[in-house]
Structure 1
Amino acid sequence: MDSLITASARALAAGDALGALKRVALRDDPPALALRGIAMAQLGEHPRARELLRRAARGFGAHEELARARCVVAEAEVALAMRDLGGSLHSLRALAAASATLEAHGDRANALQARLIAARRLLLLGRLDEAAAALARLDASGLPPSLVAVAELTAAELALRSLHIGAARNALARAHDAADRACVPALLAEVAEARAALDRPAARRLVAGGEQALRLDEVAALLASDALVVDACRRGLGVGTAWRPLARRPVLFALARALAEAWPGDVDREALIACAFRTRHPNESHRARLRVEIGRLRALVTTLAHIEATAGGFILRPCGECAVVVLEPPIDGDQASLVALLSDGAAWSTSALALALGASQRTVQRALVELEAAGRARSIGRARSRRWLSPPLAGFTTILLLPAALPIG
């Protein structure tokens, strides 16, 4: 490896993308193309970075499998930054094969990077159990501090999404120490932002005459208590470790929410029909459907609460002497989870958003059009290259709105 390539690689490791480009910008040999691709990725030019990395991978010969494996990992990192989460089976297998090749050649740092990319992709998709299993297999001991910082940041995000606040604080402390040793400003800024999320409001608790802002640790404590919590952030209800998800049953959740908001009083039938079925002119068919849906909700929450009929409507009675608490998201609207994903600063495709939310692309597209009309999102590009962005949300954290946030376990 010549001196310019070595100097460029060192500049990239220190986060100096422009310094790296100055040394190899006019070269087209495979090592230089790979370094140029990584530098362009650090500068946010992801499409160009992907093109350069693919050219570099093609340029390396059959006997240079280690270099080609590194290009595959770098391209996977770029795909993650571009929120290209679809990932064909071939590309996922290529990343796994690259990780095995790197491990076989003793390149533990890049092998760990490959596994971290896979774990971070699972986090973005909300597949927290799989992400936790992937992270549990990682061993970052003895590796560069910058990579240790990324690993700890990933562990911290998983802990935050799972509402394990103590574990998140510990992981962030380790991430800060590693980022400080690495002397990479971008990593230090990322750690600081993650730490700030712990002190920002994450949800609103409805109280008599108003609402109370709660931080993540306060939300976790509330969910671990013996109160019956109707959680509008994650669309479900539970007491302690018992959890009933209702994200895919919007009518049942609307009924549970209305009953919880009225507790300890009851809700009349017309109000429940208007809330659940969105009609102001109920008829007998709506009343019959209400009875059916109340029966379904009653069967679902039978171990947590009872739903009793009253002269005017229905009332929620929790089992035991526990209170009923309603948690509202920090932002209003039916597209709160979509806005939370878009607010991470990355440009998302419709397909990636649909994959992360577990919804159809058509549903997501309609929601994006509504957000764009309201000035809460904007698009760049056209056709298949179209991407969606949203301004960062200041003053609160949207952790609880991200897909598949787990109940306390």
Structure 2
Amino acid sequence: MPPSRSETTTLDEIRRQAFVDHGLQSLRLAQDGPLADLTFAAKDLIDIAGTKSAWGNPDRLRDATEAIATAPAALVPLMAGALLVGKTQTDEVACGMFGMNPHFGTPINPRAPQRVPGGSSSGSASAVAAKLCDFALGTDTGGSVRVPASFCGIYGLRTTFGRLSVAGIMAMAPSFDTVGWLARDAATMKRVGEIYFGPINEFSPARLLLARDAFDIPERRIGEALLPVARSLGNAIEVTLFKEGVEHWLDTFRPLQLQDLWATLGAWGKTPGRRLSPAVAERIELASQVDPARFAAAVVRRETLTDRLVQSLGSDGVLILPTAHDLPPFRDAPVSAQVEFRERTLALTCVASLCRLPQINIPAVVVDGCPVGLSLIAGPRGDQRLLDLATRIGHALPAAALAP
């Protein structure tokens, strides 16, 4: 079992790694409101008026001007009375699953300090897990809220695509990008949801669908630990999610996301002299080489996969599946191990991303001292159902999964 946080890190060290140096110290716009007793942080892709958004890149920090407006997604909690305590670190231009940024450092995973916190909403997850704020805003394209939530043992919601404004937020892959948030408990997740969606009343019992084949994707010890928890949530119908095979889903996701990345950040990334980490430079180069025929075919496949899953979920269905395929990699893991990890976890996270659906990670179990998350996916605009369900099942989860 890895050493406890107190043996390896201090709260000040976690704070220094989680928050950016160029961000504001604090901001409150309303003294009263439904979140007036809560503090929050915002990922450094999200504009806050009067501050720079560096996107995890030193050239962007150097060249950016201070934002003239606050992103709507951040303005809502500010007007609800929440106190913004800072902006948080991100993987470079959101291209990462682990939270490792060679320019600004890697935030600490408070629940497993020897391991990565997950990305790209790495600083947000670290700050929440360390109780440096009550909730934090992040963005999610291919798992950037859900994976760090799983790694750090907290809740994290990817909202329905297009439901929350992404204005004032760096675009990475615009046909996938969403706003989400992370918190240590389901009640706070729901409170935040109500400032965006309105009152969340109790829903009728969900029709649970257990994606049985999805539990064969993780490492065996992870799947075996998660499956009993999934089955304990209630009577669930076991279904086959990857009817065409996992590679069919990945071969649909990859060209779509890469073409988005190239169209959005290609010119910026290819500017002569641009300082990029080797991994991000390689990813942008890969994005420049997407076969147009593969891209066009993927557009159609995406719609077919979406139609099938949305029809299966209906208005009351909730799909249960693992969030990530294994424990968080160690901070010194080789690049080869990171690549393999990303591809296998992406097989799980690409489902909601491709189908534009909401997904929430809930802390489920602890394996070898590390938290492991379980995910719930609902149909379009099913965010409130997920938040309500999370509050009702949270107390039924093993106590170790929710340990501070």
Q: What TM-score, normalized to structure 2?
A: 0.30
Q: Which has the higher helix share?
A: 1
With a CA cutoff of 8 Å and minimum separation of 6, indicate the structure with the bigger relative contact order: 2
Find the structure with the greater CA-based Rg.
1
